[in-house]
Amino acid sequence: MIRLETRFASSFIQSSKLEPFLEKSESARLTLHSSQGQGKEYLGWLYLPKELKNSEIERMTQVAERLRNSSEVIVVIGIGGSYLGSRAVLEATLPFFKKPSIGNPEIIFAGHHLESRYFSELIEYLEDKNFSINVISKSGTTTEPAIAFRLLWELLRKKYGSSASSRVVATTDSSKGVLKKFADSEKLDTFTIPDNVGGRYSVLTPVGLFPLAVAGISISKFILGFQNILNDIHSITDPTRNPATYYSALRNYFLSEGRYIEVLANFNPSLRYVSEWWKQLFGESEGKENKGIFPASMDFTTDLHSLGQYIQEGKRILFETVLSPSEVCSNLTLKPTQDNLDSLNFLSGNTLGYVNEQARLGTLLAHADGGVPCLELVFPDISPQSLGELMYFFEYSCAISGYSLGVNPFDQPGVEAYKKNMFALLNKPGFEQEGETLRKRISRN
C-alpha cells in the first residue's frame, strides 16, 4: 500500500492547527461516497476497478495484439486526460532505448498540441513505416486531436487505401459525436468512454488501457494495482491512517499556511509523465473560484541545478511531495580507476541506485532545513501494478481535496476560455463578432 511519510515535514505541522483539516478531509471522503457532492454524475471512476468486465479487457487485448502484429509504429491521438495517463505508465515502464519492429511497435503521441514542425516531421517519419492509429476523443471535435487525426487519416488512406480503416481504433462516446459517427461509417473497431467518467479520471477506462495493451504492458497487473488500494483506502476512517485522506488534509493545511505551490518531485526520470498526469488531475480539479494549490513538478537531480536554488533560498510559498519507489534498478556498480582523476573512487563498490538514494535523502534534508516541508509518497516499485495503486491514490485524494476546498473536482469550466478566443480569431462560424472585437483589442496592445 502507498505510505505517506512526514519525517521531513513534521517540524512544519502543528497538530492543533491540522486537526480541522483532518476532520474536513474525512467529511469530504464521506461526501464522495455518499454520491451527493458536486459533480456526482462523474463518479464512475470511484468503483470502476471492481466493475471492469473481463470480456471488454479480453477484446482490448485481442484488438491490441492485431495492431501490434501489423505495425512498427502506433500513434495515440489525444489531449489532456485522453493521453496523459497512458503516457505516464508507458514512459515509466517501457525501456528507455528500444528498437521498434512489427510485433514490438513504437508508441508515438500526437494531438496534444498544434505545433506544425512536429506534425510535418511526424508525417515524414511515418511515410515509410507500417503504422496504425488509436484516436481518443469523446466528441471528436476537440481541436488538437481532431486536426491530428485529419492529417494522419489522410496519410493512412494514401498508404493503405481501402484497408486503412483496419488500422484505426477509435475510443469515443458510445452513441453520439462526430468521431462515433465516423467510426460507424468506416466500421472501425471502437471502445467506449463511459459517460460518468471525466477525462482526467479515465486512465482505467479504454482511454488508458488500450494504449497500454498495444505497447505490450500487462493491463491486468495495472488493474490489480487499482483494486488492491481501493479495498484499503475505502475502508479506513481514521484520516491519519488513511494515506489519501491524510495527504488531502496536509495539502490544504499547507495552503492555509501560505504555501500555494506543491512541487511533485522525483529522482527517476521515467516518472516524469506521472508528474504531468498529476498536474492535470489536480490543476483542473482544484483550480477554480480563485482557490486551489498550483501543481508544479521537478525532475531531480536535474532540476536541482536550475530550480534547486529557488527551493533552497527563494520565497517560502511551496511544499514538496516526493515520489519514492522502494525498489529501483541498482545493478550498475561503480568501479575504481587507477588515476582517480575525477576523485570519485570513494564511490567504488556502490551501485548507482545507492548514490541516487543518498542524493534523494540529502536533498530532502537540505530543503527541510531551508524551510520547505517535504512529504514522501512511498510505493513498492515502478511497475504497472504499483503505478495503478499510485494513480488511484491520487484520484481519490484529489476528489477529497476538491470537496474539502468547496469546489467541484469533476468539471473544468475555465478550459473553455482559450477555446472561445481561438475559435473567434480563426473565424469559426458563429464567432465572427467576437473575432472582430478580439482583433481590435490585439491591435490596440
Average pLDDT for the chain? 94
DSSP category for residue 101 = B
Beta bridge partners of 87: none
pLDDT exceeds cutoff 70 at 445: no
> What residues are annotated to the active site?
284, 305, 419
State the burial class of residue 16 (Cβ atoms within 10 Å of its Cβ: 0-12, 13-18, 19+).
exposed
Which secondary structure element, helix H or strand E, spans residue 422, and what is its range? helix 416-425
CATH topology classification for 3-36+224-405: Rossmann fold (3.40.50)
The three-state secondary structure class of 370 is: coil
Q: Is the CATH number 3.40.50.11540 carried by domain 48-217?
A: no
Domain layout of the chain by residue ranges: 3-36+224-405, 48-217
Pairing of strands 374-381, 318-327: parallel
CA dihedral 256, 261, 421, 398 (to 10 degrees): -70
Under 8 Å between Cβ of 81 and 47: no
How many CA atoms, within 13 angstroms, populate the side-chain half-sphere of residue 28?
29
Domain pair 3-36+224-405 / 48-217, same fold:
yes
Q: Distance of alpha carbon 231 from its chain centroid, rounded?
A: 22
- Distance separating alpha carbons of residues 225 and 348, to the nearest angstrom: 37
Q: Which residues pair with 109 in a beta bridge?
A: 76
Comparing 14-28, 144-158, 417-431, the range with the smallest average pLDDT is 417-431
Q: Locate 64 and state its grid cell.
A: 491490441
pTM of the model: 0.95
Least confident of 147-161, 238-252, 426-440: 426-440
187: left (phi over 0), alpha (psi -120 to 50) or beta: left
Nearest to 386 by CA among 332, 331, 330, 328: 328
Kindly state the percentage of the chain with pLDDT values over 90.
85
Query: Which letter, b or e, does each residue of 380-417 get, where b requires 16 or more Cβ atoms within 10 Å of its Cβ?
Result: bebbbbbbbbbbbbbbbbbbbbbbbbebbbbbbeeeee
Question: Over 70: is that where the pLDDT of 339 sits?
Answer: yes
Q: According to the model, what pLDDT value does residue 437 have?
A: 84
* For range 205-231, the mean pLDDT: 96
Residue pair 46/233 in contact (Cβ under 8 Å)? The answer is: no
For residues 309 and 316, what is the distance between their CA atoms, to the nearest angstrom?
A: 12
CA distance 375 to 381: 18
Total count of residues recorded for the chain? 445
